[in-house]
Structure 1
């Protein structure tokens, strides 16, 4: 039986795909040189009249783009395999399509630029002939030299922008632009101001060259003065426009910062209760305040710098192309030598600097170790050996110091010599152009000034772009909060003008999310009815506070149902539910605001002062509030720090009563109240006329409040062990009777 051939290794597949990619790219280059270079200009001369040279250039350029684009697509389809196999190949292959666009559109665009630049001046109709890359070999090579950097830059920016790109910044950039909201309409206006400001700033180099020509030609003093005046006006206008652009940009970014910080805080407030238990308050606060502030500051400073020098660089590049194509190409081709090589050498210098510091630390460690153990060193007579060891460390550090000094000198020399070579090349070629009469000496001076400013702009862009990218990357932490979906159900829509307040626990079980296997409540079934007080008692850890948390809809039952008037709690609208269900805890949380703000906290429709006073009088808070100089406008301090425990409970009780809730929960809310306030709460529960309209769940260690309850539920281990009135449970002599008879009455609160 013939056996099948074994599958080729993955390395062979990758090698064959890489070979196909290089072969296809080489064939495209040969086709461009052998076929397109001579054929397209000839075909365009037959199709387009000679009187329309600009149209002829565009026909050639678009045809070249179309043919090269189809070839690039064919190469891509032939070499694309699985993501793991072709990832490295596709990295540079993806630049073929933008390269085709750059090769096809660069020369027509330059022709159009020249045509617009010479608008209104007499020009030679054959001037565009020089733009045909097929006429000369050097022009063909020059077209690739110009197109390759443009294609590489476009490919890099596209990969950064695309969702799921290699850097992963595209989605963050889109999200940040989305955070601008209505402020994004200011960006085009800011860009227009930047362009006008940059063009106005170009007046100094422009008029410097013109003045050079006029001085050499002995122009009249009136023209000299007039142009100096115009240069001053344009410069001042540029400064004013820059001031306006900076002002509008900073104001816009300030509003964006406030909007973003508000959105992050709002997203945090929507999270479920477990989120705040699993994350520290300091970490959440840092994300809301510090991270958004750092992002906004980085974008305000670095992005402003990036936009300014990007616009400035583009304006300078356009003016350089307008002034001299050949000198501009020399500048662009020399940019990699001017910046990339010093950057690589700078990394080498930084690595050596780190090694020097590590070597110094090691030698210091040797000295510290020996000096701290001198008795041992001397007892073994090892002084000379330790000295030799220290000399070896110093010798290693000396070698690294020499390498660091060499790297620093090479880095400095490379930066200086590359800049000097560029200037010498510009001056040499420019001098040749001036000698041949292609440009004037003034235009050469203008170009040199433009070129100096252009290289400075590129240098700033190369240094500021990584910082902007880093700031954009840090925004991903902020968007984690914005994108996080709360685990709790969304707010319902149910409201009722005739809510009775009947609460039903139907076989409710619950386990906290961080311990899903430990049931805190098991099969809990009971009912709270209007006009009745239900007391929930039991030892610590029995689940009483968990019942309160479920009733406030802070958690959802793991099993069973929790109903309010026959409907599940999550079905009710959020604000409506928490106006109808009010809770007061043993240590209520107050806010660092006035008494008035704390009492009306969370109410959409603010009550009158009479209603606030009535609620405070009912809870017993009015007596001490009215004695303060500012009354209800007095600040309670951070978290109510200026109040005693009983005063905080009284204010919290007023905050609950002013809602006129249908369900009132008192979770040991009277433990710190004095005797008079205790009696006042007892009257609220059992004697107040409004008691008939609300259901009350009472958790307390006060026997005088529990024994008057309509129902008493004894909770232990998450289940109800006993239920009944005080008299019934005392007769049973069960768990409740034992707790009452124990020291401390009903025991300590949970």
Structure 2
């Protein structure tokens, strides 16, 4: 569903601006909203009618004729029936609108998350983002459903009752209204406090989700390293913070509502005292007096409801502000238009420099290398030397800050992101699998239309069939959250099968064999050597034995390439590579 609000250039500072933007999501459902308003009008009319009917009740009591008895019975049933119809229409249709708004908002937030650059996910914990998508968006529902229902229904009831009171005796009504500005001041103060506390509650809920998700997903590490006490303490701290803010919200609401009730009671007491004066009462009958007092006392509930609804509105506004902040985040820059079907795979790094945002020093400096199509290049060096940073620039997960990178003589920035990433298959040491079947994990995303035989062939080349065929449902076996049912080596082989099935001209292997045992590694190495033929391959490996057959080896240190050559050439040169090789060889013997 397209919604204009997502195109808003910046989030307004005022809460009214945020609420207005939120209400813009209601526009596509204006008919349901209009029916909810009609329901509220019926409810308000019936509530006013109940107060007005008191005049006829008194008349029927004083003069109990057959006509009066029948009229009174019809009035009572009619008023309550109308209230019932109004309540159904207002609640159902406003809830319909509210859930549709939540659905649209969730879609917009999730769609934006899928387009945001890597740095956004570096800066924001996954738990907090999930909290935005669930808890915060649900809080918006309060502002667009319950709050709107109560505001409309009770607000119209107040208008109806006031109109009836003004019609009956305008002097008495003005006395009742004298307390209005004081009530307004109390509501205004409470609203500001609600908004301030709501923002803190949103943040503390994000912290709760973040800490809980980390502890749950990393439960093995927590238990192995005795982190239960630490995690309990961490969770209790964020939970306590949430409790304190929630209690502040509850206390503000609990104080403001009775204060407003007392003010209304004072107004009603003043009313009763004044109306007993003959000059004010005028020619009002007993029935009219009772109807007037009934209208005034009936108004206490809707006034209380309308004032308490501010807490819900401020919660919703605070949540909407947070949600719109994510929607307004700048997506990945994608100005490129070049979209080749398939590249040859020649890669050039021209004096490339790169640093992560907010860092002063470059992670990569002066990287210049040309990799002909079909050549395999291995990157080696100590941890932190810049190997992973260098390959992460190719799919443009990060933007290089100096120099240029070209594929087939076209700068990466000339390619559209979709076209560029379709040319690259990636296998990392941190394998990501989904809670789905083995087949769906191999044929993931754009590969989902691949045939069964193609999937089996890719699995066979990755030496994965040997364990897949032992599974109860073969390729249709569900593997659990992030492949929890599989061993590290099995998960790695599925990731390699996925890359093989993609059949991209450029292959990135970032520690692709790190989770494999020696026997599996040998099988995978053979499969990788087969699949690397005819593809430009960049291999990152700590175990130098896995990259001895590479066409070229780049040795990196402190973000620079300090040596380049084949395995035997670098060994005979006796430089940094030879030292690394000697260290590993001596460790293994």
TM-score scaled by structure 1? 0.62
Kindly indicate whether residue 340 of structure 2 is the aligned counterpart of residue 493 of structure 1: no
CA distance in 2: counterparts of 1:252 and 1:343, whole angstroms:
27
Q: Which residue is equivalent to 2:167?
A: 322
**Superposition RMSD on alpha carbons, in Å?**
3.3
Kindly indicate whether residue 99 of structure 2 is the aligned counterpart of residue 254 of structure 1: yes
The 3-state SS of whatever aligns with 2:349 is strand
CA distance in 1: counterparts of 2:462 and 2:36, whole angstroms:
58
Change (3 A) 1:498 1:477: closer
Asked whether the equivalents of residues 584 and 666 of structure 1 are also in contact (C-alpha less than 8 Å), the reply is yes
Deviations 1:220-276 (A, max 9, x none): 413531442243133213212212221221232123223323322333333222222
CA distance in 2: counterparts of 1:190 and 1:453, whole angstroms:
22
Kindly indicate whether residue 267 of structure 2 is the aligned counterpart of residue 267 of structure 1: no
CA distance in 2: counterparts of 1:315 and 1:703, whole angstroms:
83
Asked whether the equivalents of residues 11 and 18 of structure 2 are also in contact (C-alpha less than 8 Å), the reply is no
Deviations 1:571-601 (A, max 9, x none): 3333332222111112322233332232233
Q: Which residue is equivalent to 2:378?
A: 535
Q: Which residue is equivalent to 1:188?
A: 34
Deviations 1:543-597 (A, max 9, x none): 1111121122111111111122222324333333222211111232223333223
1:137-156 counterparts in 2 under 5 A? none
How far is the alpha carbon of 1:731 from its aligned partner?
Answer: 3.2
The 3-state SS of whatever aligns with 1:742 is helix
The 3-state SS of whatever aligns with 1:504 is strand
Change (3 A) 1:414 1:284: closer
The 3-state SS of whatever aligns with 2:502 is coil
Change (3 A) 1:306 1:744: farther
The 3-state SS of whatever aligns with 2:555 is strand
Q: Which residue is equivalent to 2:306?
A: 461
Highest CA radius of gyration, 1 or 2?
Answer: 1
1:233-244 counterparts in 2 under 5 A? 233-244=78-89
Kindly indicate whether residue 424 of structure 2 is the aligned counterpart of residue 568 of structure 1: no
Asked whether the equivalents of residues 164 and 170 of structure 1 are also in contact (C-alpha less than 8 Å), the reply is no
Out of 118, 135, 153, the position equivalent to 1:308 is: 153
How far is the alpha carbon of 1:170 from its aligned partner?
Answer: 1.6
The 3-state SS of whatever aligns with 2:141 is helix
Asked whether the equivalents of residues 214 and 224 of structure 1 are also in contact (C-alpha less than 8 Å), the reply is yes
CA distance in 1: counterparts of 2:546 and 2:17, whole angstroms:
59
Kindly indicate whether residue 57 of structure 2 is the aligned counterpart of residue 207 of structure 1: no
Kindly indicate whether residue 569 of structure 2 is the aligned counterpart of residue 724 of structure 1: no
How far is the alpha carbon of 1:665 from its aligned partner?
Answer: 0.6
Deviations 1:647-675 (A, max 9, x none): 11101111212111111011120123345
Out of 414, 419, 423, the position equivalent to 2:272 is: 423
Q: Which residue is equivalent to 2:129?
A: 284
Kindly indicate whether residue 533 of structure 2 is the aligned counterpart of residue 691 of structure 1: yes
CA distance in 2: counterparts of 1:541 and 1:441, whole angstroms:
90
* Contiguous gaps of at least 5 residues in structure 2: 1-9, 191-257
Change (3 A) 1:727 1:181: farther
Change (3 A) 1:254 1:340: closer
Q: Greater shift after overlay, 441-450 or 171-180? A: 441-450
The 3-state SS of whatever aligns with 1:551 is coil
Q: Which residue is equivalent to 2:353?
A: 509
Q: Which residue is equivalent to 1:146?
A: none
Kindly indicate whether residue 397 of structure 2 is the aligned counterpart of residue 554 of structure 1: yes
| Paired positions, count | 512
How far is the alpha carbon of 1:290 from its aligned partner?
Answer: 2.3
CA distance in 1: counterparts of 2:27 and 2:36, whole angstroms:
16
The 3-state SS of whatever aligns with 2:282 is helix
Asked whether the equivalents of residues 349 and 405 of structure 2 are also in contact (C-alpha less than 8 Å), the reply is yes
Kindly indicate whether residue 488 of structure 2 is the aligned counterpart of residue 645 of structure 1: yes
